[in-house]
């Protein structure tokens, strides 16, 4: 019998009690960036950020060297404790918050097995709570229902998401400058992301129960639908698909683990960044499998701040990427993009062909990863 260790990690001081991340597995090379140096406009760090955005779409930011970063880590620690409490609630309480009951809000609880991980419709092995930034800020009227545990901690989530917003706005300013979008333009990237009822931004709590011998992924291969994701995890299991073009001659295209590092979070780009940059920036395909080695006996908690465009923002080239040809084209709004991807991944209505309908921008990187 597998004994699952169900404890949520502490992002601050709990790392030493975790089993080690193995040293003999294929690991993706992800650039490490210092938050302090990035904020100071250090040329080398900006170069690292942009080269990651143009290749793997993933970067690791060390948050220990700024006051904002340390607040973010502290907030993440509180979110992990909240995740443990809320996932511990009885199934019927959680299912009362089920996002499928909330129309097109795409917020609330996603139960174990409620989405698919492959084109055959195999069910996932993860639970998730998506808590809307508008709802947390008290400005949302999303119709999502949240249980009493979450409602009692809205103030903590507010401070976590405010830190996330400040941090991601700092990055969006850099990307806006690269795309030639000035601060007085209506397309200035920070302006396209609000914490109101019309935003897709949310705080996401995730838990994959331990299932060491399973072959299927716990969470499906996907590109993120929105703009930027800030991801905290302490156990391995996250994998990136790296195409041959990003690897050396002695490596093969395929799935590579991302090693969790203390004091850091991963930041990855989503489909909106690909659309706005007309493919210059990449939204990488990633998935979650059982944590490697001894870590597999543990339930895997992770946490994300998802910054997503306001619902009515079009997924079209912006700034210096606008051309005579593409300005005539029709593009989906973010809301249409998200609904298409969400509906195609639902397990309860899944039918042949849905998997293909749920594609994001992976064709710009390595389409074979999701085939």
Ligand X SMILES: O=C(O)CCC(=O)C(=O)O
Give the residues lining the site for ligand X (CB under 6 A). 204, 206, 219, 224, 231, 233, 238, 286, 288, 302, 304
CB of 18 to ligand X, least distance (A): 15
CB of 300 to ligand X, least distance (A): 7
Nearest position to ligand X, beta carbon: 302
Measured from the CB atom, the residue of 117 and 238 that comes closer to ligand X is 238
Measured from the CB atom, the residue of 299 and 318 that comes closer to ligand X is 299
Q: What is residue 208's DSSP assignment?
A: E
Measured from the CB atom, the residue of 176 and 258 that comes closer to ligand X is 258
Contact 131, 157 (CB under 8 A): yes
Give the CA angle between residues 239, 35, 45 to the nearest 5°. Answer: 80
Q: What is residue 1's DSSP assignment?
A: -
CB of 227 to ligand X, least distance (A): 13
Measured from the CB atom, the residue of 285 and 318 that comes closer to ligand X is 285
Residues 27, 32: Cα–Cα separation, whole Å: 14
Give the contacts of 84 (CB within 8 A, at least 6 positions apart): 6, 7, 8, 301
Measured from the CB atom, the residue of 94 and 286 that comes closer to ligand X is 286
CB of 214 to ligand X, least distance (A): 16
Residues 266, 254: Cα–Cα separation, whole Å: 20
**Beta bridge mates, 127:** 207
Residues 260, 264: Cα–Cα separation, whole Å: 8
CB of 204 to ligand X, least distance (A): 6
Residues 314, 227: Cα–Cα separation, whole Å: 12
């Amino acid at each position: 019998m597998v004994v699952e260790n169900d404890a949520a990690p502490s992002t601050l001081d709990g790392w030493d009690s975790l089993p080690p991340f193995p040293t003999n597995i294929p690991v993706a090379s992800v650039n490490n960036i210092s938050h302090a140096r990035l904020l100071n406009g250090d040329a080398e760090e900006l170069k690292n950020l942009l080269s990651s955005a143009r290749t793997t779409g993933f970067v690791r930011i060390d948050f220990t060297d700024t006051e904002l970063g340390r607040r973010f880590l502290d907030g993440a620690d509180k979110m992990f404790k909240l995740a443990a409490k809320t996932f511990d609630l009885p199934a019927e309480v959680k299912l009362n918050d089920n996002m499928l009951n909330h129309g097109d809000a795409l917020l609330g609880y996603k139960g174990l097995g409620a989405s698919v991980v492959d084109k055959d419709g195999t069910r996932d092995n993860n639970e998730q709570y998506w808590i809307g930034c508008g709802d947390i800020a008290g400005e949302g009227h999303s119709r999502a229902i949240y249980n009493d545990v979450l409602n009692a901690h809205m103030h903590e989530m507010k401070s976590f998401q405010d830190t996330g917003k400040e941090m991601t706005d700092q990055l969006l300013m850099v990307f806006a400058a690269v795309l030639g979008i000035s601060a007085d333009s209506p397309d200035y990237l920070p302006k396209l992301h609000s914490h109101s009822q019309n935003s897709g931004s949310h705080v996401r709590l995730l838990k994959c129960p331990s299932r060491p011998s399973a072959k299927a992924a716990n969470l499906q291969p996907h590109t993120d639908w929105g703009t930027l994701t800030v991801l905290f995890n302490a156990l391995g299991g996250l994998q990136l698909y790296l195409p041959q073009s990003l690897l050396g001659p002695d490596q093969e295209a395929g799935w590579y683990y991302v090693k969790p590092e203390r004091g850091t979070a991963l930041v990855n780009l989503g489909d909106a960044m690909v659309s706005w940059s007309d493919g210059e920036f990449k939204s990488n395909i990633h998935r979650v499998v059982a944590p490697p080695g001894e870590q597999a006996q543990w339930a895997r908690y992770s946490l994300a701040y998802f910054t997503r465009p306001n619902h009515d923002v079009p997924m079209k080239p912006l700034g210096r990427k606008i051309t005579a040809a593409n300005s005539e084209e029709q593009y989906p709004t973010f809301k249409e993009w998200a609904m298409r991807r969400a509906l195609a991944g639902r397990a309860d209505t899944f039918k042949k062909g849905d998997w293909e309908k749920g594609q994001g921008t992976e064709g710009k990187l390595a389409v074979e990863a999701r085939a």
